[in-house]
């Protein structure tokens, strides 16, 4: 490799004063490189990763409930709510033959009361003022 080629690859420098003496520091000193350029893995923009930005102020009073447990047990074979809820709030407890609800993780998207349960068997209110999900962007 030639000396001329080496010079071309040197980072641009600019003068700086250290203890009263002028010295040369790279122009990009202090600028962090792009992690992607360094090969660090970036989290894919999945729903799960985006949910990492969300905060919850937990209410002690559940805002979700099943209207008729018998409908879940005997009529609804597919347990649609366990698939339609993006926060996976609903779980089918096969031994107990009932739906359990982890209302603490509810994103208040409204899916479960607008088609998420074809039997209209979910009672969904919004949490009390100041409680529930708090969305953050960024
Ligand atoms: S989709 Fe509706 S009826 Fe079916 S298990 Fe869920 S709440 Fe029950
Ligand atoms: S409102 Fe949305 S996140 Fe909350 S339980 Fe219903 S479907 Fe799930």
The CATH number that applies at residue 119 is: 3.30.70.20
Query: C-alpha angle with apex 26: 22 to 29, nearest 5 degrees?
Result: 110
Over residues 72-84, the mean pLDDT reads 97
**Per-residue pLDDT band at 1 (split at 50, 70, 90):** very low
Q: Is residue 35 part of a domain?
A: no
Per-residue pLDDT of 10-22, as tens digits, reads 555 555 555 556 6
Beta bridge pairs of residue 14: 25
- Alpha carbon nearest to ligand 1 atom 2, residue: 117
Number of independent structural domains in the chain: 1
Q: Is residue 84 part of a domain?
A: yes
Sign, CA dihedral 80-86-91-70, equals negative
Residue to substitute in 105, 110, 126 for testing ligand 2 pocket (most ligand atoms within 8 angstroms of CB): 110
- Index of the ligand 2 atom closest to the CA of residue 111: 7
Ligand nearest to the CA of 108: 2
């Amino acid at each position: 490799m030639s000396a001329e080629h080496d010079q071309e690859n040197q980072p641009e420098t600019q003068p700086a004063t250290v203890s009263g003496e002028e010295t040369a520091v790279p122009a990009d000193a202090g600028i962090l490189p792009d992690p992607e350029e360094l090969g660090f893995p970036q989290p894919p923009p999945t729903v799960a990763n985006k949910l990492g930005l969300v905060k919850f102020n937990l209410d002690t009073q559940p805002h979700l409930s099943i209207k008729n447990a018998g409908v879940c047990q005997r009529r609804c074979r597919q347990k649609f709510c366990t698939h339609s809820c993006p926060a996976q709030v609903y779980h089918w407890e096969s031994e107990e033959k009932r739906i359990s609800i982890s209302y603490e993780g509810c994103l208040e998207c409204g899916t479960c009361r607008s088609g998420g349960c074809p039997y209209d068997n979910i009672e969904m209110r919004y949490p009390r003022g100041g409680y529930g999900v708090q969305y953050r962007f960024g």
